[in-house]
Structure 1
Amino acid sequence: MSDEVEPGLVRVRLDLSYDGKDFSGWARQPLGRRTVQGEIEDALRTVTRSDVSYDLTVAGRTDAGVHARGQVAHVDLPQEVWAEHREKLLRRMAGRLPHDVRIWRIAEAPSGFNARFSAIWRRYAYRVTDNVGGVDPLLRGHVLWHDWELDVEAMNAASAALLGEHDFAAYCKKREGATTIRTLQELSWARGDDGIVTATVRADAFCHNMVRSLVGALLYVGDGHRGVEWPGKVLAAAVRDSSVHVVKPHGLTLEEVGYPADELLAARSKEARNLRTLPGSSGGGPGGCC
């Protein structure tokens, strides 16, 4: 499969952010549900005065209620549309989009770029507080309240066993035909001066509910309900574990998406489409998101 743009079209990269509170996730859905993709595609059609919609491809399809600070998408526009609107497109989109989604940069993408398949990592943050008084009202839409004191050192110790390439089936909601093999590059916890405990989670890609399941398991370690070795044992079992709690989405934010140098984009995109397997595994198709 090639990422060559069809003749007469220009591939355009969009860098954006959104507050996920009132969205039913990224992906456009039936029944009139409000989505980030739907809002942007509708605004793009309006400002370019087009009779058709231009489909967006996104780096990470976030779930309902999940936020994004560093989301990336691309869209293929007719050359004449891009030529006419490129200089004023960012400003016009700002005037048309609702206040809970913003585009910060619109630019022609380099050759071989694919927002989804060219990415080499996605970095999420999950924020939680164990303050006995609860969450600061001004932060309540982005921070989870956990009403047990958390041991950050124990959570970091438990996280170490989850790093690397594994089958994360125990921490993912299985999707037909999708692999659950992922490479977890970073999973660390830190308590800020404000008392908020932030998990930094970075991987080449994520399967459905993976970040929120990992956070849920590690919170059980942090509050003393499970031992440090438990998350690793769950991972090794490689089957969905009902004792792993999927935490609420509002504490989760997609912070950044990483891409290789321009000359490596096409090769990365091709590689990312290959089926991933572990030794002795049959693998599967491309996975979903977190």
Structure 2
Amino acid sequence: MRIALAVEYDGSGFRGWQTQPGGGTVQDAVQDALRQFAGVPVQVVSAGRTDAGVHATGQVVHFDAAVERSMFAWVRGTNSFLPSAVAVRWARPVADDFHARFSAYARRYRYLLINRAHRTGVWNGRVGWYHHPLDVGTMQAAAHLLLGERDFSAFRAAECQANSPVKVMREAHVRRFGDLIAFDFEASAFLHHMVRNLVGSLVHVGQGKRPPEWIGELLAAGDRRLAAPTFAAAGLYLFAVRYPPELGLPSGDQTNLTPCIPLYGQ
């Protein structure tokens, strides 16, 4: 039986999602917990990789179960063996041809940024920080230029392994909640460091270093060297993975518990 799991995690203490020599990744933790609960080795496939320090509230993985357990048991049993910074949110049976990555039609990322003169203490490691005042209106105007099918080469890391830099951006929003600014992006897929690079350039616009039209110029030029530096990993969350409704999987963000801000229904 193939099973899909939704996983949330605080990535602060991990070396990223994907397993690597030396361990210390979220995938290692999930696979080890599943092995202990199932009593047999388990290999999981994720909807997307996240870098060191990046978090998730809606990561989705699939695996082929060699033992039979209820969906409730897969959640509670796996969680009993996971470190406190990682938790399974739900489990669902899926068809044998389901693939956590390739069956998805969109991903949603959220970047949380504290915008005030002094850094945060309570939310250290869970939000980014920028000390100069930022204009959300100009950042939203710039973000609007990202919508549609675009070549995102200007926001692509040099080590990105994606076959094509062309992605479809379906949503791009910038909103303020007091001292906190939330950047929301939903696209068919994302390039390596794409969201952090977008946030970095939008912050340049928000501070008045560049006009909103600069984002369009960067897209047209397709040159990473012209855009702003990559922003910190701490504020980035893989928020949701979208699948066709007929698969019957939760949409991901309806019950997300995003740290420190009440974004429900916004």
**Range class of TM-score, shorter chain:** 0.7 to 0.9
CA–CA separation in structure 2 for the residues paired with 1:77 and 1:35: 22
Once the two structures are aligned, what percentage of the paired residues are identical?
Answer: 38
Q: Take 1:170 and 1:264, find their aligned partners in 2: how far apart are those partners?
A: 36
Q: Which of residues 194, 198, 205 is equivalent to 1:221? A: 205
Amino acid at match of 2:86: V
Please point out which of 180, 194, 207 is paired with 2:191. Answer: 207
1:140 paired residue number: 124
Cα distance in 1 for partners of 2:78, 2:248 equals: 30
The match for 1:59 is 47
The one-character-per-residue Cα deviations of 1:115-163 (angstroms, maximum 9, x if unpaired) are 111111111111112212332x222222211011000000011111111
Which of 81, 94, 100 does residue 96 from structure 1 map onto? Answer: 81
Which segments of 5 or more consecutive residues in structure 1 lack a partner in the other structure? 1-9, 266-290
Alignment partners' CA distance in 2, 1:27 and 1:177: 16
Query: Is 2:171 the partner of 1:167?
Result: no
Match of 1:37 in 2: 27
Segment of structure 1 superposing worse, 239-248 or 249-258: 239-248
User: Which is worse superposed, 138-147 or 16-25?
Assistant: 138-147
Residue 123, structure 1, aligned to residue 111, structure 2: no
Conservation of the 8 A alpha-carbon contact between 2:53 and 2:233: yes
Q: CA deviation at 1:262?
A: 2.4
Letter in 1 for 2:57: R
Question: What is residue 270 of structure 1 aligned with on the other side?
Answer: none
Deviations 1:193-245 (A, max 9, x none): x3201101110110101000000000000011112111111111112225421
Please give the TM-score of this superposition, normalised by the length of structure 1: 0.81
Q: Distance in 1 between matches of 2:197 and 2:237?
A: 15
Report the Cα distance in structure 2 between the residues aligned to 1:163 and 1:176, rounded to whole angstroms: 23
Question: Distance between the aligned counterparts of 1:39 and 1:164, measured in 2?
Answer: 37
Tell me the alpha carbon deviations over residues 63-113 of structure 1, each in whole angstroms, 9 at most, x when there is no partner: 1110001111100122xx1x2575633222111110000001122114642
Could you tell me how far apart the structure 1 residues matched to 2:113 and 2:232 are? Answer: 11
Cα distance between partner residues in 2 of 1:252 and 1:148 = 20
Asked whether the 8 Å contact 2:152–2:219 carries over to 1, the reply is yes
CA contact (8 A) 1:159 1:218 kept: yes
* Separation in 2, partners of 1:243, 1:88: 47
State the secondary structure of the residue aligned to 1:241: helix
What is the match of residue 12 of structure 1? 3
1:48 and 1:85 in contact (8 A); partners too: no
Indicate the SS of the match to 1:88.
helix
> What letter corresponds to residue 187 of structure 1 in structure 2?
A
**8 Å Cα contact 1:170/1:234 also seen in 2:** yes
Mark the runs of 5 or more structure 2 residues left unpaired by the alignment.
250-266
Bigger shift: residues 239-248 or 180-189: 239-248
Larger Rg: 1
Task: Tell me the amino acid that sits aligned with residue 173 of structure 2.
Answer: S
> Aligned-pair RMSD on alpha carbons?
1.9
Q: 1:237 aligns with which of 221, 225, 234?
A: 221
Amino acid at match of 2:134: L
TM norm structure 2: 0.87
Q: Could you tell me how far apart the structure 2 residues matched to 1:170 and 1:189 are?
A: 20
Among 158, 170, 174, which residue is 1:185 paired with?
A: 170
